Structure 1
Amino acid sequence: MYTIGQVAKFLGVSRDTLKFYEDKELVKPNQDIENGYRKYSHFDIYDITTVNFYREMDIEIKKIQELRKSKSIEGIQLLLEEKEQDVLEEIEYKKLLLKKLQIVKEDCEKIKQFLGEYIVKEMEPLEIKGQIEHFTAYDEYETLQKNTDSLKKAVTLTSLRRVISFNEEGIIEDKFIIVRKVEDFDKEIEGEILSHSKCIYTVIENGRWSTGGKNMDDYVGASLRKVALEQGYELLGLVYVNLLLTTYEDGLERVFLEIYAPIK
């Protein structure tokens, strides 16, 4: 027989943990009637190591209590299969989280490299998954949720692209489309593919800190026309706007936008 101190020492668990297991009826050591000391048998050691094993696999206490009462081999297999599915889903979530973190890091580099600069580059293919009236059309966000690779159902504005159609007289149409980047290994694509081999590309800063809340559309349009004229390009009358990053200065937002303007 072993004391609680001895068990805690050679199993590497605290006394509080052992008492918690006892409170949850996961282990039932004998108790000396005269002095109240707990005495643990080798069967109690089996119980504690089993509980530790399941806890390390993040099995809920309630599930372990069910195991402690009665569980067939088949029942244990079912429990482990359920946990396996949870772990696989968590792995997929972590992969998506890692991918989005890497994208944001890349976006930070884009801002540092291209803010205020104008170059010609390709707009990589995007699959159009849907459309909403405006990014403030919150009643339409259910459509956005259904059509984006979101983190645990969180609505991500990075899945939106603002599309502005214009001519010499001004803006003709202004809408928002829901998109997904087309990967090289994609085999099944359901929506329309949007791509442009040549675009005038830049990153601009918007937001109340830099503009005082003024509309930047006219400024951006004039800048693109000026660059196109200077470099001998003809604009196609479209501009795609992507939100890269939002940060803050003196409590006011600084919004960095990625601009693609297709050219002939």
Structure 2
Amino acid sequence: MYTIGQVAKFLGVSRDTLKFYEEKGLVKPQQNSENGYRTYNHFDIYDITTINFYREIDFEIKKIQELRKGKSIEGIQSLLVEKEQVMLEEIAYKKLQLKKLQLVKEDCQKISQYLGTYTIKEMKPLEIMGVIDHYTAYDEYDSLKENADSIKKAVILTSLRRVIRFDDSGMLENKFMVVRKVENSDHPIKGEVLAHPKCLYTVIEDGRWSTGGKNTDNKVEASIRKVAKENGYELLGLVYINLLLTTYEEGLERIFLEMYVPIK
């Protein structure tokens, strides 16, 4: 016979875990009525190691309780198949989360490399999933949830692209589109696809921390025109703006935006 301390030590589990197993009816050590001490025999130890085995493959306590009541090999196989499917779905979901995280890391690198500078870059194909008047048109978000490029099926700002049309007289149109990247997508393409092989590309900072809440559209437009003129680029009258990252400084948001400005 072994004490709870001895069992905890050589099985590598805590006393609290052993007591928890007992509370759930998974192990039933003898208990001294006078001093309350528990003693475990070799059958109890076998039960504990069996519980630990099923816990290691992430079986819930409820499922282990079912096993204790009796399961055929076929019944166990059924539980294993069920658990396998859950795990496969979790792995697929985690892979998507990891991909999102890696993309955000890449966005941080873009900010470091391109903030305040211009270069020539391709705007990769984007499928238009929907259009809203403005990102503050919250009543329109409900109809966009299924189309948002989000693994949680929620409308997030990184699913939106601000599109500005302009000519020499100024801004002609300002709207927001819900888009999804076409490259490496498993989804069939149903909507219009946007792509521009040659764009002026830059990253700018917006948000109250850097702008004091002022609109900087005119300043950005002037900068684009200046760069295009200096380099002899002919603008196509379009600007695509994408949110890369939002952080905070002194309680105020710092918003980093990437801009694609198509040129001939």
Same fold (TM over 0.5): yes
Instruction: Report if aligned partners of 1:201, 1:261 keep a CA contact under 8 Å in 2.
Output: yes
Residues 118 and 201, structure 1, Cα contact 8 Å, conserved in 2: yes
Distance 1:151 1:246 in 2: 19
Deviation of 1:101 after TM superposition, in Å, equals 1.5
The answer for unaligned runs of 5 or more in structure 2 is none
Residue in 2 that maps onto 1:74? 74
Return the offset for 1:35.
Answer: 5.1
Query: In structure 1, how many angstroms separate the alpha carbons of the residues matched to 2:72 and 2:134?
Result: 55
CA contact (8 A) 1:117 1:202 kept: yes
Structure 1 counterpart of 2:11, one-letter code:
L
Indicate the residue corresponding to 2:192 in structure 1. 192
The verdict on how the C-alpha distance between 1:250 and 1:133 changes in structure 2, with shifts beyond 3 A counting, is: same
Q: Secondary structure at the match of 2:150?
A: coil
2:50 pairs with 1:50: yes
CA distance in structure 2 between the aligned counterparts of 1:218 and 1:240, rounded to whole angstroms: 15
SS in 2 for 1:239: strand
Residue 26 of structure 1: SS of its match in structure 2? coil
Partner residue, 1:65 = 65
Q: Please give the per-residue CA displacement for 1:11-41, whole angstroms capped at 9, x wherever unaligned.
A: 1112221111111101112334565443323
Taking every aligned residue pair, what percent have the same amino acid on both sides? Answer: 75
Task: Read off the aligned partner of 1:254 and give its amino acid letter.
Answer: R
- Partner Cα separation in structure 2 for residue 73 and residue 209 of structure 1: 63
SS of 2:2's partner is coil
Paired amino acid for 1:228: A
Question: Which letter maps to 1:85?
Answer: Q
CA 1:79/1:142 → structure 2, altered by over 3 Å: closer, same or farther?
farther
Q: Secondary structure at the match of 1:58?
A: coil
Question: 1:140 deviation in Å?
Answer: 2.5
Deviation, structure 1 residue 59:
2.0
Aligned to 1:238: 238
TM-score, with structure 1 as normaliser: 0.91
1:1-264 equivalences in 2 (<5 Å) = 1-33=1-33, 36-184=36-184, 188-264=188-264
Contact 1:162–1:177 (CA under 8 A) maintained in structure 2: yes
* Pair 33,73 (structure 1): closer, same or farther in 2 beyond 3 Å: same
> Relative to structure 1, is the Cα distance of residues 36 and 245 closer, same or farther in structure 2, using a 3 angstrom cutoff?
closer
- What's the CA shift for 1:79? 2.2
What is the distance in 1 between the residues matched to 2:137 and 2:169? 27
- Measure the CA separation in 2 of the matches of 1:54 and 1:31: 26
Instruction: Give the C-alpha shift of residue 185 in structure 1.
Output: 7.1
Q: Which segments of 5 or more consecutive residues in structure 1 lack a partner in the other structure? A: none
Q: Separation in 1 of the partners of 2:24 and 2:242?
A: 53
Kept in 1, the 8 Å contact 2:148–2:154? The answer is: no
C-alpha distance in 2 between matches for 1:71 and 1:186:
40
User: Aligned equivalents of 1:120 and 1:33: distance in 2?
Assistant: 82
Q: Deviations over 1:92-113 (max 9, x none)?
A: 2221121112111111111111
SS in 1 for 2:28: coil
Query: Contact 1:8–1:18 at 8 Å: present in 2 too?
Result: yes
The DSSP-based 3-state class of the residue aligned with 2:254 is strand
Number of residues of Structure 1 aligned to a counterpart in Structure 2 = 264
Distance 1:34 1:134 in 2: 74
* TM-score between the two structures when normalised by the length of structure 2: 0.91
Q: Say whether the 8 Å CA contact 2:239–2:261 is kept in structure 1.
A: yes
